[in-house]
Structures are given as C-alpha cells and as structure tokens.
C-alpha cells in the first residue's frame, strides 16, 4: 500500500476556492480524481496533506446522492478545505 502526501491539485479555475478538483498530485506526478477515488475505495493507497496549521489531513471520498464522488480532507474527524487550498499542479 502506498501512502502519498498530496501537495497540489488541479481545478478548472485555479483561483476558485470551491470548484471541483479534477486532479491531485505531488511535485513529481499527478492523477485524475477518479483514479485516486478508486485507489482509496479499494484500500490500495492512502492520501493525505498537511494544512496551514501543520496538522495532517487525511483525504477521503465523499458520495452524495445525485452528485459524482469527490475528494475531501478530514482533520481530527472534521471536514476541512485543506485539499482545496493546495497550489495548482504544474
């Protein structure tokens, strides 16, 4: 099982704080959201990031009725925007 620290995201508009993430990654590579969702749900890989407060934020899959699944960070059992706050992948 790989444990990956995410350091960047890609969104349709990089300046939007709430727009859906399409890709996540590291300084060396990035992956489509759907692929990461599959790995998390299969239990083959885990992903996390660190928020501005230095706390580890685990990345989880959120499924809401009528919406496509998406990725979101959790810190101390609470949803956070730490994943959305990451810089744009290059």
- The pTM of this model reads 0.90
CB–CB of 45/60 below 8 Å? no
pLDDT per residue over 21-64, tens digit each? 999 999 999 999 999 999 999 999 999 999 888 999 999 999 99
Q: Going by C-beta distance under 8 Å and a sequence separation of 6 or more, which residues neighbour residue 74?
A: 57, 58, 59, 60, 80
Mean pLDDT of the residues in the chain: 92
Sheet containing strand 23-25, edge to edge, reads 8-10, 23-25, 30-32
pLDDT per residue over 12-22, tens digit each? 876 666 678 99
Alpha-carbon distance values, 44 to 4, 12, 37, 39, 48 (Å): 11, 28, 11, 5, 14
Residue with tokens 């996390």: 48
């Amino acid at each position: 099982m790989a444990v990956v620290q995410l350091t960047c995201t890609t969104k349709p508009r990089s300046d939007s704080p709430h727009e859906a993430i399409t890709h996540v990654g590291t300084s060396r590579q990035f992956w489509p959201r759907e692929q990461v969702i599959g790995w998390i749900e299969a239990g083959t890989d885990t992903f996390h990031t660190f928020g501005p407060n230095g706390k580890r934020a685990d990345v989880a899959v959120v499924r809401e009725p009528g919406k496509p699944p998406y990725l979101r960070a959790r810190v101390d059992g609470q949803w956070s925007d730490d994943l959305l706050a990451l810089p744009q992948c290059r």
